[in-house]
Chains A and B, each alone.
Chain A
C-alpha cells in the first residue's frame, strides 16, 4: 500500500515538473492500470507535439511561397532503409577481386553469353490446386523452360539426369497445404543451391487488368542487390534468363530486393508522350525513342502488369548441388543474426 502511494506521488510529481528531464518510464511502473494510463498520456502528448510541428512547417512553407522566397528545406524522413546498419560486404564498383571472382564463378559462362540457359522445372511429390497453375505461368515467364512431372524420383537423381540432358538450372516448386510456398533453384552442373520461401502469390488471372505476355525474351531488372551475397543471388537469377533481351517485345521482368524480400513482377510497357500538341503519338516506340524528346511534351512509360506476382525470401544458400545431409552452406539464416532491426543480408 505504501509503495503504491509512493508511485502515484512520483508520477504526480514528475508530471508537475512538466515532462522535462526526469520523465518516468512507463515500463518501471508495475501496476498495469497506472502504467497504461501513463503510457497513453505520453503518447497523446507526443501526438499533439507532432501535429503542432507539422502545422508550423506547413504554415512556414505557405508563407514563404506567398512571399516568393525559398521555402524552408524539407527534412528527409528517417526510414529503415536510410538507417540500415553499415555492411562491409557491400560491393564497391572498383573491386577487382569481385570481377575476378565473377569470372570464375559458376554463372560466368551463361552471363558471358557462351551458353544458353535451359531450365528444368519440377515440383515436390504432392502437387495440387495452385501449384500447376503457378508452374504454367512460370513456364510462360522464363524462356526456354521445360516442365517434367516429379514422379517419385530422388532430387539427387533428378540433378544427375538434368546434368546429362544439359540443363543449366533446376527449379523445384515446393507445395505445402495446397499452396506453393518454397522455391529451390539449383544451378547445374555443380552450382549453388538457393532455397527461397515463396509468399504472396497472385496468379495471372487474379491480377486486375492483366495483360497477356508475349514470347519475346524479356528485359531483366534487378534492384538493390548490394552485398556480396546479394550480388551472388542476383547473378544466379540473372543466369535463369537468356542474356539477349528483345527490346521490341517491350516486356520486362523485375526482381526488386527490399529488406531481404525479393519482389517479382512481370510487366509490359509502352512509351507514350503526354501533352502533345499534334495529337497523341501513341506508338510502339522502343527505348531509342526516349532520346527524341521533342517539343511534344514528356515521354512517360505506361506499365501493364501481366503474369504472376510473388515474393521470395532467401532461407539458405548451399555450396554445391542439393545435398541436405552432407552439404555445406555458404549462407544460412540463424536466429542469432537477427540482433538488429536495421541489418539486412542481401
Chain B
C-alpha cells in the first residue's frame, strides 16, 4: 500500500541550476544555505515569447569567462554570460548554405571548452545540428561589445544523415568525437577533426516473432568522459542500449524500461552508472556494467522527463520535464531533496538543464 502521509523534503546543499523553457526564458534557481536550503528562482532572463522558444543549450563552465550558448527557434543562437545573463553575441544563421528553412530546427548544440591559446581575441567554437541532419561547426570571435553578425574564423558544414530526423546528439569528453541519432537514423559516431564518420550502429536482429522495430533513438550519452567508445542510447520503444565501438556494431547490452519512450539519459562520473528518464516521469539509475536497474527515484513526478543533469561535485541530480517542476534528488538514497515549481504553462517545451558547480566567490557578485 503506498504511504498515506506526506514526507517533508530535506533541503538541498548550495547549488545553482539553469533551466530553459519553451517561452524563451532562462531561469536561474539557487539554493543558498549550507544545509537544507530550499531552492528558489532567483533570476529570469528574457521575455516570455513563444516564438523564441529555446531548443538546445550548452555551457562552458570555465572559472574565467564562462559562456552559455542557447539555440532558439528560427535558427537564432545566442551566447550569454551565465553569471548575469548578459548577451555577448548572437548568431542568426549558423548553417551556411542558403536561408534557414522554417522547419529545420536546431536539435543539438555544443560549446567547446578548448580554447585557442592566443588570448588577443577570445573565440569560441560551436557545434550545432539540425533535425534534417545538417551539422555545422563554427568558431566565432567574441568581442567585448554586443555584435549581431559575426566574423567567423572558420566554419564547416556537413550532412550527418541522408534521411530521417536527428533527435539526439552528444559530444564526448575530449571533444574529438560526436554522435548523432534519431528517428530512422542509426547512431553514428563522427570524428570531428577529420570530419569523417567512423562508426554506425546496426539494429538488433528480428525478434523471435519475426517483428522488426523501426529505428528511433530519442536520447544518447557517452558513458564516461575519457572514453569515446562506449555510449548509451535510449529508444522510442522504451529500450536502453549500450554500444561499444571497439566491439561490434550491434548493441552490447540492451534492456527494457517500463512502457514509454526514454526521453533523457545522463551519465554519472564513475563511468558506469546512468540515469534514465522516460515519457511518463519515471527516473531510474542503472549500472551499465551489468545492465541491472539500481533503483527508481520515487516522487510526485507526473510529467515526462525532458532533461537530467548531474552536479559535478555533490551527489545530486536534477530533473525537469513537462510537468513544469525542477526536482533535485539525492543519488545515494534516491530520495527527493526538493522540487521547484516553474510558473510556465507546459507546452511543447524543451527544458534543458545545466548545472553549475557552486563557487562561493562568484555567488557574492
Stretch at the interface among B152-160, B202-210, B295-303: B295-303
Does B322 sit within 8 A of A, measured CB to CB? Answer: yes
* Complex Cα spacing A224 to B50, Å: 27
Partner of A232 from the list B4, B236, B345 (CB cut-off 8 Å) is: B345
Contact A329 B279 (CB under 8 A): yes
* Complex Cα spacing A333 to B302, Å: 7
Question: Which B residues between 240 and 267 are near A, CB-CB below 8 angstroms?
Answer: 259-261, 263
* Complex Cα spacing A336 to B302, Å: 10
Contact A319 B322 (CB under 8 A): yes
Contact A100 B50 (CB under 8 A): yes
Instruction: Output the nearest chain A residue to B5 by Cβ-Cβ distance.
Output: A339
* Complex Cα spacing A224 to B63, Å: 50
Contact B299 A336 (CB under 8 A): yes
User: Residues of B contacting A88 with CB < 8 Å?
Assistant: 341
Stretch at the interface among A5-13, A57-65, A90-98, A238-246: A90-98
Contact B323 A331 (CB under 8 A): yes
* Complex Cα spacing A266 to B35, Å: 54
- With A100-B23, A329-B322 known as contacts, the answer to whether A339 contacts B4 (CB < 8 A) is yes
User: Residues of B contacting A329 with CB < 8 Å?
Assistant: 260, 279-281, 302-304, 322
Does A137 sit within 8 A of B, measured CB to CB? Answer: no
- With A326-B261, A340-B4 known as contacts, the answer to whether A331 contacts B302 (CB < 8 A) is yes
Please encode chain A, from 211 to 242, with 1 for each CB lying within 8 Å of some chain B CB and 0 for all others.
00000000000000000100110000000000
Does B3 sit within 8 A of A, measured CB to CB? Answer: yes
Shortest CB-to-CB span from A264 to chain B, Å, is 24
Does B118 sit within 8 A of A, measured CB to CB? Answer: no
Does B49 sit within 8 A of A, measured CB to CB? Answer: yes
Does B324 sit within 8 A of A, measured CB to CB? Answer: yes
Shortest CB-to-CB span from B259 to chain A, Å, is 8
* Complex Cα spacing A83 to B47, Å: 36
User: Residues of B contacting A102 with CB < 8 Å?
Assistant: 345
User: Residues of A contacting B280 with CB < 8 Å?
Assistant: 328-329, 332
User: Residues of B contacting A232 with CB < 8 Å?
Assistant: 345-346
Contact A101 B345 (CB under 8 A): yes
Does A293 sit within 8 A of B, measured CB to CB? Answer: no
User: Residues of A contacting B314 with CB < 8 Å?
Assistant: none
User: Residues of A contacting B25 with CB < 8 Å?
Assistant: 97
Contact A330 B2 (CB under 8 A): no
* Complex Cα spacing A232 to B345, Å: 8
Partner of A101 from the list B3, B260, B261, B347 (CB cut-off 8 Å) is: B347
* Complex Cα spacing A59 to B22, Å: 62
User: Residues of A contacting B303 with CB < 8 Å?
Assistant: 329-332
Shortest CB-to-CB span from B345 to chain A, Å, is 3
* Complex Cα spacing A337 to B237, Å: 26
Shortest CB-to-CB span from B352 to chain A, Å, is 15
Shortest CB-to-CB span from B105 to chain A, Å, is 15
* Complex Cα spacing A44 to B48, Å: 60
Contact A97 B48 (CB under 8 A): yes
User: Residues of A contacting B302 with CB < 8 Å?
Assistant: 329-334, 337
Shortest CB-to-CB span from B315 to chain A, Å, is 22
Question: Which A residues between 118 and 177 are near B, CB-CB below 8 angstroms?
Answer: none
Instruction: Output the nearest chain B residue to A327 by Cβ-Cβ distance.
Output: B279
- With A97-B23, A105-B347, A334-B281 known as contacts, the answer to whether A328 contacts B341 (CB < 8 A) is no
Shortest CB-to-CB span from A137 to chain B, Å, is 32
* Complex Cα spacing A301 to B166, Å: 60
Contact A104 B261 (CB under 8 A): no
User: Residues of A contacting B5 with CB < 8 Å?
Assistant: 339-340
Shortest CB-to-CB span from B299 to chain A, Å, is 7
Shortest CB-to-CB span from B298 to chain A, Å, is 5
Contact A319 B304 (CB under 8 A): yes
Does B116 sit within 8 A of A, measured CB to CB? Answer: no
Shortest CB-to-CB span from B107 to chain A, Å, is 16
User: Residues of A contacting B343 with CB < 8 Å?
Assistant: 95, 97-98
- With A96-B48, A101-B48 known as contacts, the answer to whether A328 contacts B348 (CB < 8 A) is no
A sample of 28 inter-chain contacts (CB < 8 A) reads A89-B324, A97-B343, A97-B345, A98-B345, A100-B49, A100-B50, A101-B344, A103-B50, A228-B324, A228-B345, A232-B345, A319-B322, A319-B346, A319-B348, A325-B236, A327-B261, A330-B302, A330-B304, A330-B323, A331-B303, A332-B281, A333-B302, A334-B302, A336-B298, A337-B302, A338-B2, A339-B6, A340-B5
Given contacts A328-B322, A329-B260, list 7 more A-B pairs with CB under 8 A: A88-B341, A97-B48, A101-B344, A101-B345, A326-B261, A328-B261, A330-B322
